[in-house]
Structure 1
Amino acid sequence: MEQMQFQKLTGGLGLDREQTRTLPLSQVKIEDSFWSEYVRLVREVVVPYQWEALNDRVPEAAPSYAIRNFRIATGQEQGEFGGMVFQDSDPAKWLEAVGYLLQSSPDPELEALADELVDLIAAAQHPDGYVNNYFTLKEPDGRWTNLAECHELYVAGHLIEGAVAYFRATGKRKILDVACRLADCIDTAFGEAEGKLEGFDGHEEIELALVKLYQVTGELKYLELSQFFLDQRGTNPNFYAEELEKRGGRVHFGHLDIAHDLAYSQAHLPIREQATAEGHAVRLVYLATGMADVAAETGDENLTEACRKLWSNIVTKRMYITGAIGSQEYGESFTFDYDLPNDTVYAETCASIGLVFFARRMLRLEPRGEYADVMERALYNTVVAGMSRDGKSFFYVNPLEVRPGACSKSRIHAHVKPVRQGWFGCACCPPNIARLLASLGEYMYTIGPETIYTHLYIGGTVDLDIAGAKVSVEQMSTYHTDGQVTLLLNTDLDVSFTLALRIPSWSGTVALTINGVALTIRPENIKDGYLHLKRVWQTGDTLDLRFDMPILKMRSHTAVPHTVGKVALQRGPFVYCLEEADNGPALHRFSLPKEGTLSIVEGLGDLPEGVCAIRAEAQIIQLESENEPLYQSEAAHLEEQSAEAIFIPYFFWANRGQGEMNVWVRETF
């Protein structure tokens, strides 16, 4: 029976494509001069701080209500539901981050806190497996009646993801059993059989979560259910309208034009026919992540091709240079090709995190450097920019141009904040950052039958089995500083396999030595952005890589009206920006001469150790007197004078107080 179901899932295509697999976090240890500090922050500051915030014990932060809702639902407190309809997802993501941290190293105190949450969730579960505090407390008769707006399956998906991560870390089945009963409850309610609901959630998430549940339990029904939700999307354009009519026109948010816009929820076309990134940016990349997961598990080449089309449209026409996505505040959404405004951008932190999720799944399907390049771009720029250096404040929106006065006085800029916030009423981004950084080790490598792919150059150790041997790879990296990486291999026996090393797109030249002997890199050894080294490896083999790290003047496609005639600076994985703290106000007055000099500045201010700034030969237009007319024909007094500009890595902006910021700067000839 299961084999027949599997053939239905695959469409008879089979699994003849070579894929790679991700390594468990327990096999990867990060010891890196850049990333270890972020992982430490997540463990020692972010996760404990977020636990306090979820419990409403941070006076300066907006109340969460999340844990309080569970206590009310279980009869431990009296009161009414508080927060957003999807508030349960925040503690679920917190639990997921804890699961990843515990997979990396034990922490009895943290595990005890997580067990408290597990007990609360289990106690809040209904006998039929349903868990959702909003509907339990506020609309007990409203289950599955407003999928367009109320995020029921989204919330369930996050609970499942948290349960899988925590089970993998501890082996404790309590929360996994909760997740399985919840998934079974959903399976009972949804499907093609008579009496079941043929629908889909407005916010994708359940699709990728069910694949994780399938992977940990081996229960094929969860994979089938994931594919059901994928295939439902876009096949019944009247679904939301029919449900709206059934509930008498009642809406939750009052934004019918958004919530019931099919493109907003990626339901305008069947998923295999979608070729452009439409609607809410986070939803789109969560959908694409689920699509890639199912494609990998089933071998569905049509689904893989649909993933490729969405990927291509995002990264070639709808992505910012920082790896941010989502061009407008209305609907937190994509707009159209090459529409990439810098000051009114939305660029939600969660959207870049979702893009990282999508990239990792595409690397599993087919190891290609372009996926890892984008994953790196988002990680080193938007993702880490989303959190302050002390781990206690966060960006929801990640602009590429900021004037604080506009943020406070212009309605079209009101969503942009010039400083990070302590917490949010809709606090999806902080726990999302925590769970991604806590699981960073899963993004560094994938393994094929006889190939180790290195996607991210992050210091640490990975232990794995390949070609019948036990292999340990120790990576020592100052990649973010000077492009140097050393790999030391240890094996229990001499073994032949391929080591595939990504060549980042920003590197001009690559130098390689093995055991001190320089190697010539031949074109035939480079495939899809990876240098393939096949040989018999022995214990003690040492590879030294050096990636050239020039300062690059990046220019956009000329179809992007917001940046034509401008340049952005990049060095290594970092995109740079001007900030008022270094250059004074009115940053729009700066320009960079086409032939102007650029140089590295080390040890600037509070930048992390080893991270450099850039000094640029610039020109600047002097501020006019207030007595000058607003417009005039004479412009001789606008001559640009020589100046110096200091650029810092984008991820670091707004860590030194409030001020202006610009990524793109005019170029003069």
Structure 2
Amino acid sequence: MVATINRSSFVPMKQVNINDPFWGPYIELVRDVVVPYQWDAINDRVEGAEISHAVQNFKIAAGMAEGEFYGFVFQDTDVAKWLEAVAYLLAKEPNDKLEAIADEMIDIIEKAQQPDGYLNTYFSIKAPELKWRNLTEAHELYTAGHMIEAGVAYYQATGKSKLLDIVCRIADNIADVFGDGPDQIPGYDGHQEIELALVKLYHATNNEKYLQLSKYFIDKRGTNDFFREEAEKRDWSSIWHNGKIHIDREYFQAHKPVREQSEAVGHAVRVVYMLSGMIDIARETNDESLIEASRTLWNNIVSKQMYITGGIGSMVHGEAFSFDYDLPNDTVYAETCASIGLIFSAQRMLQLEPNAHYADVMERALFNTVISGMALDGKHFFYVNPLEVFPQQCHGHNKNFNHIKPVRPEWYGCACCPPNLARLLASLGDYMYSVNDNTIYSHLFIGGTTKVAVAGQEIVLTQHSELPWQGKVSYELELEASAAFALAVRVPNWSNKTTIRVNGEEIAVEALLKNGYAVIERAWSNGDKVELELDMSIKRMKAHPKVRANAGKVALQRGPLVYCIEQADNGPDLQLVRLPDNAELKLAYNSELANGVYTIEATGLSVDMEAWQHDLYAANTSLPLKEKKLTFIPYYTWANRGEGEMMVWVKE
């Protein structure tokens, strides 16, 4: 079934110059600290950090060094994502030193590539006889996909084609190996990623083969029992251990064809990467059945399986979704990569249909889980993003909490999240604006200057944003000649009252609302200005009644920011705290935390343990309570002042 899609195209980051008091420092941090630090990390030059060996693996595969492969089977992706982040930085600002380092790395990668185009240091060095024999576990196509994304980004940023040529050879080799023809493999990867990467390669090269190959992997998934058939051929051997492999098709989202999957199940990152690929193919082919399947999966994730912070993946076992409304706060997984993948999916959904709901989710994940995944110094990172932490559990004998870190480590042996975060923040300009016919859509409130082609000319749009601290946003337009078009600005779901003025004159917002955007259609002139005033009142958020973990609890949100209480401000035993439903919530400015943030102050209650005169259990006894001053901080800032307890959802 084929239908016409209301396509939007995002304005590329090359046309967006971010100048924002909140996000500008983050991008500078990525440029000046994060990317150089991560280069040191993947070269094993960070004292005290887990060994990476990622660059050394390439040197060994290239014949430039002696040694054995070290790391995870997908270790190459740390290099690929680092190169992609570098590309986005170079697209915005020349840096000869950084570019020279990247070029040298690309030279090494070229030497490591095999004559047929195959590139994977694990199989080149450690297990060449197992190449393409364990797609279930070995991440071969996933690893290839990340290198393809790096190759496209580096070519678009610098115009240099060496890495693009390398990844085209990778893709050509994959096209030879996979398919339904004689001597081809009729399968797909255990970890989705190649699908969205091939669409990017198609856009960069206009080679239809890459689009069709991506479509093949999407269409083929779940239509056969490929992983079991593959396992039988190698006597059920596993790449992770000496025993036999156990295959749970739901974990790999291979239990049904993608068009029949109605719930997000299995490994969370794989789900949203698959969803991103599905949306890409739906958009390119006008496939209505794939569009509906994408909507169904998306809606299940965000309406039944997403944390208030934009985190997804509720259980450590399998880094996976569990079931609808199962959102524990203390054993949560909420991998940083999963929220990044959710942002990828949101951006793509906006290309299918401009709807502010997708941008609201993108903003929620970005302001909360994603930037919580990196310390304020740019050198420490979370893999897991809990909503409640009691450090004694993390360090004790309770194995259910081993995955929770009360402070961010310097690096990880499995370091997928830090470079993923770097490449997202470095490319933030790609997520701000899109154009649909004669309409410019503004999705994120991030200050800067953007060039947009609309109404037959290039418009310069300058946004000023005081978010997330104040609700003032403005847009100023520069254009050579008066022109008729529409500017659609998002009215966020957290703003109960939004005021919009055009050239100082207030307009009726409700009359202009369409799918969550105020669509302002008029003949625009040079110097026109649109001003927004967004409601930044503090919201007492409640969870769906079926979310058992949050029964009787409340969370605070102001604008896009979710807040939490932390031991550094409130002392230990946060489980004793109560927030009365009539407590006055006041803003206060803290100049010492995170270069200055607004906190929320309240007079709450706490159990008076000195007045508890009972044993472990007591009958017919009310809890003795006493007043306690409570300080709530933005969730993204927690764990930057040493180890301590933290809690998002507080008992009322």
Equivalent residue for 1:580, pick from 559, 567, 580: 567
Q: Indicate yes or no: 2:301 matched with 1:314.
A: yes
Judging changes above 3 Å, is the alpha-carbon distance between structure 1 residues 345 and 255 closer, same or farther for their aligned structure 2 residues? Answer: farther
User: In 2, are the aligned partners of 1:81 and 1:134 still within 8 Å (CA)?
Assistant: yes
User: In 2, are the aligned partners of 1:150 and 1:252 still within 8 Å (CA)?
Assistant: yes
Counterparts of 2:467 and 2:423, CA distance in 1: 23
User: In 1, are the aligned partners of 2:236 and 2:245 still within 8 Å (CA)?
Assistant: no
Equivalent residues in 2 for 1:267-286, closer than 5 Å: 267-286=254-273
Counterparts of 2:346 and 2:5, CA distance in 1: 18
Equivalent residues in 2 for 1:418-457, closer than 5 Å: 418-457=406-445
Equivalent residues in 2 for 1:90-489, closer than 5 Å: 90-236=78-224, 238-254=225-241, 260-409=247-396, 410-489=398-477
Counterparts of 2:103 and 2:594, CA distance in 1: 38
CA shift, 1:255, in A, is: 9.4
Counterparts of 1:319 and 1:232, CA distance in 2: 28
Judging changes above 3 Å, is the alpha-carbon distance between structure 1 residues 626 and 524 closer, same or farther for their aligned structure 2 residues? Answer: closer
Q: Hey, what does 2:607 align to over in structure 1?
A: 621
Counterparts of 1:623 and 1:115, CA distance in 2: 62
2:281 aligned partner, one-letter code? V
Q: Hey, what does 2:38 align to over in structure 1?
A: 50
Counterparts of 2:165 and 2:620, CA distance in 1: 76
Q: Hey, what does 2:630 align to over in structure 1?
A: 645
User: In 1, are the aligned partners of 2:81 and 2:147 still within 8 Å (CA)?
Assistant: yes
User: In 1, are the aligned partners of 2:237 and 2:243 still within 8 Å (CA)?
Assistant: no
Counterparts of 1:656 and 1:205, CA distance in 2: 36
CA shift, 1:25, in A, is: 1.3
Counterparts of 1:492 and 1:591, CA distance in 2: 58
Counterparts of 1:612 and 1:31, CA distance in 2: 21
Counterparts of 1:121 and 1:498, CA distance in 2: 46
1:376 is paired with a residue of what secondary structure? Answer: helix
CA shift, 1:98, in A, is: 0.6
Judging changes above 3 Å, is the alpha-carbon distance between structure 1 residues 169 and 329 closer, same or farther for their aligned structure 2 residues? Answer: same
Counterparts of 2:340 and 2:13, CA distance in 1: 18
Q: Hey, what does 1:663 align to over in structure 2?
A: 648
Counterparts of 1:176 and 1:359, CA distance in 2: 27
User: In 1, are the aligned partners of 2:537 and 2:558 still within 8 Å (CA)?
Assistant: yes
User: In 2, are the aligned partners of 1:258 and 1:331 still within 8 Å (CA)?
Assistant: no
Counterparts of 2:97 and 2:109, CA distance in 1: 19
Q: Which string of whole-angstrom CA distances, capped at 9 and with x for unpartnered residues, describes residues 115-136 of structure 1?
A: 0111111111111100000000
Counterparts of 1:313 and 1:439, CA distance in 2: 27
CA shift, 1:52, in A, is: 0.6
Judging changes above 3 Å, is the alpha-carbon distance between structure 1 residues 456 and 256 closer, same or farther for their aligned structure 2 residues? Answer: farther
1:192 is paired with a residue of what secondary structure? Answer: coil
Q: Which string of whole-angstrom CA distances, capped at 9 and with x for unpartnered residues, describes residues 37-63 of structure 1?
A: 110010000000000111111121111
CA shift, 1:259, in A, is: 5.9
Q: Which string of whole-angstrom CA distances, capped at 9 and with x for unpartnered residues, describes residues 505-533 of structure 1?
A: 00011111111222232x33101100000
1:567 is paired with a residue of what secondary structure? Answer: strand
1:545 is paired with a residue of what secondary structure? Answer: strand
Counterparts of 1:308 and 1:17, CA distance in 2: 13
Q: Hey, what does 1:632 align to over in structure 2?
A: 618
2:321 aligned partner, one-letter code? F
CA shift, 1:479, in A, is: 2.0
Equivalent residue for 2:493, pick from 505, 509, 512: 505
1:299 aligned partner, one-letter code? N
CA shift, 1:623, in A, is: 2.2
2:33 is paired with a residue of what secondary structure? Answer: helix
Counterparts of 1:453 and 1:221, CA distance in 2: 32
2:154 aligned partner, one-letter code? Y
CA shift, 1:625, in A, is: 7.8
User: In 2, are the aligned partners of 1:604 and 1:613 still within 8 Å (CA)?
Assistant: no
1:462 aligned partner, one-letter code? T
User: In 1, are the aligned partners of 2:555 and 2:562 still within 8 Å (CA)?
Assistant: yes
Counterparts of 2:527 and 2:242, CA distance in 1: 62
Counterparts of 1:250 and 1:592, CA distance in 2: 54
1:557 aligned partner, one-letter code? H
Counterparts of 2:530 and 2:100, CA distance in 1: 42
Q: Hey, what does 1:525 align to over in structure 2?
A: 512
Q: Which string of whole-angstrom CA distances, capped at 9 and with x for unpartnered residues, describes residues 586-606 of structure 1?
A: 001111111111010113532
CA shift, 1:627, in A, is: 7.8
Q: Indicate yes or no: 2:545 matched with 1:558.
A: yes
Counterparts of 1:650 and 1:243, CA distance in 2: 44
Counterparts of 1:624 and 1:370, CA distance in 2: 48
Q: Hey, what does 1:8 align to over in structure 2?
A: none
CA shift, 1:618, in A, is: 0.8
Q: Which string of whole-angstrom CA distances, capped at 9 and with x for unpartnered residues, describes residues 120-170 of structure 1?
A: 111111111000000000111111100000000000000000000000000
User: In 2, are the aligned partners of 1:149 and 1:259 still within 8 Å (CA)?
Assistant: no
- How many residues align structurally? 651
Q: Hey, what does 1:612 align to over in structure 2?
A: 598
Q: Which string of whole-angstrom CA distances, capped at 9 and with x for unpartnered residues, describes residues 211-233 of structure 1?
A: 00001100011000001001111
Counterparts of 1:254 and 1:553, CA distance in 2: 48
1:194 aligned partner, one-letter code? P
CA shift, 1:257, in A, is: 9.0
Equivalent residue for 2:530, pick from 528, 543, 546: 543
CA shift, 1:289, in A, is: 0.4
Counterparts of 2:246 and 2:283, CA distance in 1: 30
User: In 2, are the aligned partners of 1:24 and 1:442 still within 8 Å (CA)?
Assistant: yes
With the length of structure 2 as denominator, give the TM-score of the two structures. Answer: 0.98
Counterparts of 1:625 and 1:90, CA distance in 2: 54
Counterparts of 2:341 and 2:246, CA distance in 1: 20
Judging changes above 3 Å, is the alpha-carbon distance between structure 1 residues 620 and 138 closer, same or farther for their aligned structure 2 residues? Answer: same
| Long gaps (5+) in structure 2 | none
| Long gaps (5+) in structure 1 | 1-10
Counterparts of 2:299 and 2:558, CA distance in 1: 24
Equivalent residues in 2 for 1:3-42, closer than 5 Å: 13=2, 16-42=4-30
Judging changes above 3 Å, is the alpha-carbon distance between structure 1 residues 256 and 192 closer, same or farther for their aligned structure 2 residues? Answer: farther
Q: Which string of whole-angstrom CA distances, capped at 9 and with x for unpartnered residues, describes residues 477-507 of structure 1?
A: 1021111001110012111111000000000
CA shift, 1:634, in A, is: 4.6
Judging changes above 3 Å, is the alpha-carbon distance between structure 1 residues 524 and 259 closer, same or farther for their aligned structure 2 residues? Answer: farther
User: In 1, are the aligned partners of 2:263 and 2:297 still within 8 Å (CA)?
Assistant: yes
CA shift, 1:26, in A, is: 1.0
Counterparts of 1:399 and 1:161, CA distance in 2: 30
2:572 is paired with a residue of what secondary structure? Answer: coil
CA shift, 1:581, in A, is: 0.2
CA shift, 1:254, in A, is: 3.2
With the length of structure 1 as denominator, give the TM-score of the two structures. Answer: 0.96
CA shift, 1:241, in A, is: 1.4
